Structure 1
Amino acid sequence: MEQSRMNSPMMSLPEVGQSLQALGKALFGSAEKNALPARTLFLAYLRVSQINGDSVCVDLHSRNALAAGETAERLLVVSAWRETSNFTDAERAALALSESMTRLHDLTDPVPDKVYEEAAHYYDEGALATLITGIATANLYNRINVTTKQRVDVSAARN
């Protein structure tokens, strides 16, 4: 397995890592306050991390989703969510928003009104703000991990 380019910047910059961890805790607190299921947030984080090729976050969010009560069957098909009936309409809206916010470079209108309005249909302003900020945060972590080639060793993580 290829080595990381450097230690995680979160280790080199502990004050930044602590701030981002506090942001993550605040997002889950906000999710609870705004009736956004933690499982939905984990699904969004997982989809963003799959798109960005961040093995560390794919592993982390899969494990956290399982701990939050998500099923392995649903996690296995997140990347093909459009082709399965395993997700609610609200979850589909969150996954579509996750993809649009992550693939900003692919389209001239990267987050089309239809995608945004569908998410706004299922999530009130507080829940939607939490979801949008969470998706942006997942993208931030992914960009750090992908740039520095952070790797997860699943066999080591289970020992």
Structure 2
Amino acid sequence: MNEPRFDLNGNGLGARIGKRFAGASAAILESTLPKSTVEMVELRASQINGCGFCVDAHTKELAAAGEPPVRVNLVAAWRESTVYSDAERAALAFAEEGTRLADAYEGVSDETWALVREHYTDDEVAALVYLVAMINAANRLLVITRTKGGSYEAGMFAAAAR
């Protein structure tokens, strides 16, 4: 197993940048975008990007928030599932297309964009765009540094953002 490479929070500059990064993420959580949708979007992007730490974190946050295990476990197969609302399905499609930019020259399709606009307010759309960008950035930081999953405890992000 590959060992972690670098502790960004153990480095002075890394910790300062991380605090600002956490502040941007905290602002997203102040939106009216449902917390469960936020966590499912983050989980789906993290699954695609192979970020063990983030998959660990977002599955535990969903469980701590009271999401039924079936809704947590089926995020990776949301298209073949019946447990998500149309709004959640739009957000999950948006997360996938916004994460897989290299796979499609147009990025997020007009069809998915229209679904997102149908279900979310302007403020929620803004939050969703930043959410997908931020989770992809977080995934890259943690995959590059080989930060492993398994040690996350629900609520750790809230404490770090203060």
Answer yes or no: same fold by TM over 0.5. yes
The CA RMSD over aligned residues, in Å, is 1.4
Q: Count the aligned residue pairs.
A: 151
Pair 1:137-2:134 in alignment: yes
Deviation at 1:10, TM superposition (A): 3.5
Match of 2:2 in 1: 2
* CA spacing shift, 1:125–1:65, aligned 2, 3 Å: same
Deviation at 1:135, TM superposition (A): 1.1
Gap regions ≥5 residues in structure 2: 154-162
> What is the alpha-carbon distance in structure 2 between the residues aligned to residue 65 and residue 4 of structure 1?
26
SS for the counterpart of 1:110 is: coil
* CA spacing shift, 1:101–1:24, aligned 2, 3 Å: same
1:11 maps to a residue whose letter is G
> What is the alpha-carbon distance in structure 2 between the residues aligned to residue 124 and residue 62 of structure 1?
26
* CA spacing shift, 1:157–1:46, aligned 2, 3 Å: closer
Which whole-Å deviations, capped at 9, do the CAs of 1:90-129 have from their partners, x for residues lacking one? 0000000000000000012221111111111000110111
Gap regions ≥5 residues in structure 1: none
**Which of 78, 97, 118 is 2:94 aligned to?**
97
* TM-score using structure 1 length: 0.90
Match of 2:21 in 1: 20
> What is the alpha-carbon distance in structure 1 between the residues aligned to residue 69 and residue 10 of structure 2?
30
* CA spacing shift, 1:108–1:3, aligned 2, 3 Å: same
Pair 1:29-2:30 in alignment: yes
Deviation at 1:41, TM superposition (A): 0.5
1:47–1:95 Cα contact (<8 Å) kept:
yes
* TM-score using structure 2 length: 0.88
**Which of 40, 44, 55 is 2:41 aligned to?**
44
Aligned positions of 1:62-77 closer than 5 A: 62-77=59-74
1:90 maps to a residue whose letter is A
1:11–1:17 Cα contact (<8 Å) kept:
no
Query: 4+ residue runs of structure 1 moved beyond 6 angstroms?
Result: none
Pair 1:82-2:79 in alignment: yes
